[in-house]
Structure 1
Amino acid sequence: MTAFSIGALLYEGKAKRVYATQDPDLVAVEYKDDATAFNALKKAQLQGKGALNCRISALLFEALEAAGVPTHYLGVEGSCWMLVRPVAVIPLEVVIRNRAAGSLCREMPIAPGTALEPPLLDLYYKDDAYGDPFLSEARLARLALVTAQQRADLEALAHRVNGVLRPLFAAVGLELVDFKLELGFTADQQLVVADEISPDTCRLWDRATEDASDRILDKDRFRQDLGGVVEAYGEVLKRVQGVCPSPRVYG
């Protein structure tokens, strides 16, 4: 690594480690090969997964940047490292659903695959100790995590992200079924997209495949014991590389 040096470990999550650097305005993120599901009750090591997620996220962050969507992304270094701006992450998971799948179909009488127009936006409290629960209007108000204006801004930003990613994936034969975002504020109080955007955080279906299992190219392959997780992620990267340039190297 040339343009920065690794400092103290600031945070370790299920799929990434976040480190300080010698620059207070620069944070280094290491993507791990760990795979987890069901609030980390299911775990595995999948060699190469971290590198794939790092590269996919970098390409998608750059696509968002090109479309005028602000993110924390600055560049990559090596296969598993991403350099980002430090962000105070809002403890909310913002989920955009373009089609019904997963928990939505368990919680509501909606058939899997049903198109949701307009896309459905759900907010969840980001806290593993509580199981990342869904937030009703009253619960969100009780927690007071964001002001009314901040909520409006974060929801608008999430829809902008969907407006960029959905046609991008469609152009390479992938259906963006749903995805989750983490958003936060930079030191100058700019609201930005943070964390990652990858098959770990998106449901992606191959539009040319009818079989409900074979079409899955995301973390559901791990959740459902379908196998071929790394191969599926590699297919996503190959397709995204067809419409996005190589990610920039930081420095």
Structure 2
Amino acid sequence: MTSVKEFRIAEAATPDSLGRGAFYFTDDYSVFDWGKMPDQIPEKGASLCAMGAFNFELLEANGIPTHYRGVVEDGETIALADATEPPREMAIDLTQVPDLPNDGRTYDYDAYHDAAGENYLIPLEIVFRNTVPIGSSLRRRTEPADHGLDFAEWPDEVVTLAEPIIEFSTKYEKGDRYLDTEEAAEIAGVADLDAIAHVARDVNRLVTEQAASAGLTHEDGKIECLYFDGEIRVADVVGTFDENRFSYDGQQLSKEVIRQYHKRTQPEWVEAVTEAKAEAKRRDIADWKSLCDVDPTPLSADVLTVAQHMYAAGTNAYIDRDLFAAPSLAEAVAAVRDL
């Protein structure tokens, strides 16, 4: 179980073979790594499932292997184009995901790979950035020159990149962190890091092109991959409004809208989360959430409706199909601006 989708196993993976299973997309959402929030966004799960399925089919059509098998309707696995209603379940191939032992904030990746063999989920998130907005963590961690940019310091405006920046972060640590190339290669195991980065660039290019066809700007995103039979395959879910950040006419169109709304309306909770994460790091404790003494409160019905329409209208535009009964993308974005 993840914080926003359920994980179902029909046939477990073995060291020598992939298994079979499915994701069931709920309407739950998560911000600031909190996990399941106290309310739900209607149609969010189906929006993510449809957009993710569309992107997996786009990748497969362009020769990029994935773990996707189709969406599920009435118990049958079908292509998204054959779905008669917004899907909530996605059939996938399964790989092995061993336990990752830890002592505080020290994680034993050797044990993970000893158990995984050569059929495993690569314990990395691969991040691609097409822009560097104000407030991006990249500005705190690096200098423009580190990326070949001709700035003495980061400018007070969004930086649009000629070539995407690829970064690697941990996947299963309680407090995820960005990695240098050497540590990322070690954590990747037998999977080649350069090959993983190449896949990420191809995925980014295809999602960026598809977004542009819908009038959207693709700002950044991430993928996860599995390694099986010497091949890197894209896993988890790809190119949705939760995994990636898009904008429309300068307005953010992604989960970031909900994050920023919480920052404005529940600053005490956001500050408590930040302090708990910092305290956990000081104490070398993995479970930062146990140190947080403030809980988030539910959003109003009006805000949830705006979020619902953002996901549904954005998906309709991206997949070029009126799968959801939703306002136009322009109308949905106008409501987001008014939050």
**Aligned partners of 2:235 and 2:155: how far apart in 1?**
30
Q: Is the 8 A contact 2:41 2:308 kept in 1?
A: yes
1:84 pairs with one of 78, 86, 92 = 92
Deviation at 1:190, TM superposition (A): 2.3
Whether 1:177 aligns to 2:219 is yes
Deviation at 1:239, TM superposition (A): 0.9
Partner letter of residue 54 of structure 1? C
Which protein is bigger by CA-based radius of gyration? 2
Q: Is the 8 A contact 1:59 1:244 kept in 2?
A: no
Alignment root-mean-square deviation, CA: 2.4
Whether 1:127 aligns to 2:121 is no
Deviation at 1:238, TM superposition (A): 0.9
1:104 pairs with one of 131, 138, 154 = 138
Q: Please, what TM-score do these two structures have when normalized by structure 1? A: 0.81
Question: SS at 1:85's partner residue?
Answer: strand
**Aligned partners of 1:55 and 1:244: how far apart in 2?**
12
Q: Which has the higher helix share?
A: 2
Q: Which has the higher contact order (CA 8 A, sep 6+)?
A: 1
Partner letter of residue 48 of structure 2? N
Q: Is the 8 A contact 2:128 2:164 kept in 1?
A: yes
Question: SS at 2:206's partner residue?
Answer: helix
2:8 pairs with one of 19, 22, 26 = 19
What are the ranges of 5 or more consecutive residues in structure 2 without an aligned counterpart?
14-18, 74-86, 96-119, 143-153, 263-302, 324-339
Whether 1:194 aligns to 2:183 is no
1:115 pairs with one of 146, 156, 160 = 160
**Aligned partners of 1:90 and 1:137: how far apart in 2?**
15
Question: SS at 1:122's partner residue?
Answer: strand
Q: Which has the higher strand share?
A: 1
**Aligned partners of 1:110 and 1:67: how far apart in 2?**
37
- Mark the CA change 1:189 to 1:110 in structure 2 (over 3 Å): closer, same or farther: farther
**Aligned partners of 2:63 and 2:93: how far apart in 1?**
17
The residue correspondences of 1:1-251 to structure 2 (distance < 5 A) are 12-21=1-10, 25-40=19-34, 43=37, 44-78=39-73, 79-87=87-95, 88-101=120-133, 102-108=136-142, 109-129=154-174, 131-140=175-184, 143-147=186-190, 150-186=192-228, 188-197=229-238, 198-206=240-248, 209-210=249-250, 215-225=251-261, 227=303, 228-242=306-320
Q: Is the 8 A contact 1:77 1:83 kept in 2?
A: yes
Identity %: 28
**Aligned partners of 1:155 and 1:112: how far apart in 2?**
27
